[in-house]
Amino acid sequence: AATTLVEALPGNPTQATLTDPWHRPAHVEPDFVVNLLIALGHLDTPLADQAANHILSWPQTYGLDTVLVPTVLALNARVAIRENTAFRSLRAACLDHLRARIAEPLVPPQDWTRDGKLICRCPHCSELSLFLCAPDRKSWTFKTAEAERRHVENSIRRSGCDLEFTTDKSGRPYSLICTKNQASYERRAQQRKKDLKNVAQIEVPLGKA
pLDDT tens digit sequence for 70-112? 999 999 888 778 888 999 999 999 999 999 999 999 999 999 9
Do the beta carbons of residue 188 and residue 106 sit within 8 Å? yes
Could you tell me if residue 171 is left (phi over 0), alpha (psi between -120 and 50 degrees) or otherwise beta?
A: left
Task: Tell me which H or E stretch contains 143.
Answer: strand 139-143
pLDDT for residue 180 is more than 80: yes
Is residue 23 within 8 Å of residue 70, measured between CB atoms?
Answer: no
What is the amino acid identity at position 11? G
- Return the pLDDT at 14: 65
Task: Considering only residues 131 and 4, tell me which one the structure prediction assigns the higher pLDDT.
Answer: 131
What is the rounded average pLDDT of the residues 185-194?
97
Whether 201 has a pLDDT exceeding 70, the answer reads yes
153-168 pLDDT, tens digit each: 999 999 999 999 999 9
Collapse the DSSP code of 178 into the 3-class scheme (helix H, G, I; strand E, B; otherwise coil) and give the result.
Answer: strand
Q: Are 164 and 181 in contact (CB under 8 A)?
A: yes
Contact 185, 91 (CB under 8 A): no
Q: What is the pLDDT of residue 16?
A: 53
**CA 72 – CA 181 distance, rounded (Å):** 35
Whether the Cβ atoms of residue 142 and residue 152 lie closer than 8 Å to each other: yes
**How do the residues of the chain divide into helix, strand and coil, expressed in percent and rounded to 5?**
55, 10, 35
Averaged confidence pLDDT in the chain: 89
Average pLDDT of span 123-144 = 96
pLDDT above 70 for 66 = yes
pLDDT tens column, 4-41: 878 888 877 666 544 454 445 568 899 999 999 999 98
Q: Please state whether the predicted TM-score (pTM) of the whole model is above 0.85.
A: no
Collapsing DSSP states into helix, strand and coil, what is residue 16? helix
Find the length of the chain. 209
